[in-house]
A = this chain, B = another copy of it.
Amino acid sequence: MRAAPKPPSAEQPELDTIVEAILYLYTESRRITKDVAARHGVTGPQLAVVKMLEPVGKLSLSELSWKIRARNSTVTGIIDRMEREGLVERRRSEDDRRVIHITLTKKGQRLAGEIPVEPVQIFRQILSELSPRDAGELSRILTRLARRVRELVQEKGEVE
């Protein structure tokens, strides 16, 4: 697992452009999501949770964590605040009493209905302006990149 440390890759200004763009797209779409959510009295992550729960009814806290790419300890806090606001309920699973199922309350369901777009949809909407060809290319390249990163991560902190 020593992966030969890639020699200092020479100049490739394109790479910086790509990094710039991804960072920009990510942070900006996050801010947009936040604005949309704020109009309905919730935060970005809370809106994400509501929209995750809407179609399936219930999810365990871990499943939720996985879906919104956060750690359990983070999601615990988000659910705490949502429960305080009466948007969701915690219910202990019958099968496995370690598991907590999260469900939407009536209020949560109403909210889900009011907001047409799920957060990711905003990103998606921007992307939908791409030509099918570009979308295909983008999808192909990014997927490969993600796979590669996943490999690296699995090999444990080989960076540096």
Residues of chain A touching chain B, judged by Cβ–Cβ distance below 8 Å, are 2, 5-7, 9, 12, 14-29, 32, 35-36, 39, 69, 113, 116-117, 120-130, 132, 134-139, 141-146, 148-150, 152-153, 157, 159-160
Contact = CB atoms under 8 A, between A and B. Distances in A.
A32 B159 CA distance: 8
Nearest to A32: B159
A5 B116 contact: yes
Contacts of A35: 157, 159
B5 A142 contact: no
13 contacts: A14-B136, A14-B138, A15-B128, A18-B135, A22-B22, A24-B146, A25-B146, A25-B149, A28-B150, A126-B145, A127-B145, A137-B137, A137-B141
Contacts of A142: 17-18, 21-22, 25, 138
